[in-house]
Chains A and B, each alone.
Chain A
Amino acid sequence: DSGVTQTPKHLITATGQRVTLRCSPRSGDLSVYWYQQSLDQGLQFLIQYYNGEERAKGNILERFSAQQFPDLHSELNLSSLELGDSALYFCASSGRQPGTGRFLQETQYFGPGTRLLVL
């Protein structure tokens, strides 16, 4: 168990709809990253937040947005959904090394993912 939680586990929705995916980072981690895993694109970085502020953007569509709240949990909002948005969405967090508490920004711990199916 990485300590990163994601809800829901599975999501089935229709084209044109909007969904929200939620991520809770490991206790004490300030950085949250979102990734998308699809059959044709593989694993791709979407966006990063650090302590509530957007830090970096990857291949994230304009229909997608994210935020990180004061309690450090993050939400990824996907709107005007298309069939091609069906994928596994992972959240990762980084910050502290388990056991020692040392700050290790480069090690990211992944949640179990949310599987989105758009019909």
Chain B
Amino acid sequence: AQSVTQLDSHVSVSEGTPVLLRCNYSSSYSPSLFWYVQHPNKGLQLLLKYTSAATLVKGINGFEAEFKKSETSFHLTKPSAHMSDAAEYFCVVRGQGGKLIFGQGTELSVKP
């Protein structure tokens, strides 16, 4: 069975500093992995996805994630945080039949 674990429930950074949101996955086959973002009172927006092509995936708004099979990780990074990045971030793995399996979420706070 597929699952994802987000290692931090809350991350706080200062504006202009790097962002690292950690995610480990478990999958019995080559996974499809995603990061989604949810701004307050908004829906879920796809940031990026990994589907067994390049291991370094670039997404929207300057985010990227690296698939590391040896570490079963798919961490999300951004070189420089912006105030507008404050939101909840979900690491997601595609399960059987296409359903998405979500991690518990990481709330990102950005301090001025």
Contact residues of A with B, CB < 8 Å?
2, 31, 33, 35, 42-45, 48, 55-56, 58, 90, 92, 94, 105-113
**Interfacial chain A residues near B56, Cβ < 8 Å:** none
The total of Cβ contacts below 8 Å across the A-B interface reads 54
Residues of chain B whose beta carbon lies under 8 Å from any beta carbon of chain A: 32, 34, 36, 42-46, 49, 51, 90, 94-102, 104-105
Contact A105 B99 (CB under 8 A): no
Q: In the complex, which residues of chain B have a beta carbon less than 8 angstroms from the beta carbon of A44?
A: 102
With A90-B43, A112-B43 as contacts: A58 and B105 at CB distance below 8 Å: no
Interface of A is mostly: strand
Question: In the complex the two chains form, what is the Cα distance from A110 to B101 in whole Å?
Answer: 14
Say yes or no: A56 contacts B98, CB within 8 Å.
yes
C-alpha gap A7/B81 in the complex (Å): 34
The one of A2, A94, A111 in contact with B98, judged by C-beta atoms closer than 8 angstroms, is A94
Contact of B100 among A108, A111, A112, A113 (CB under 8 A): A108
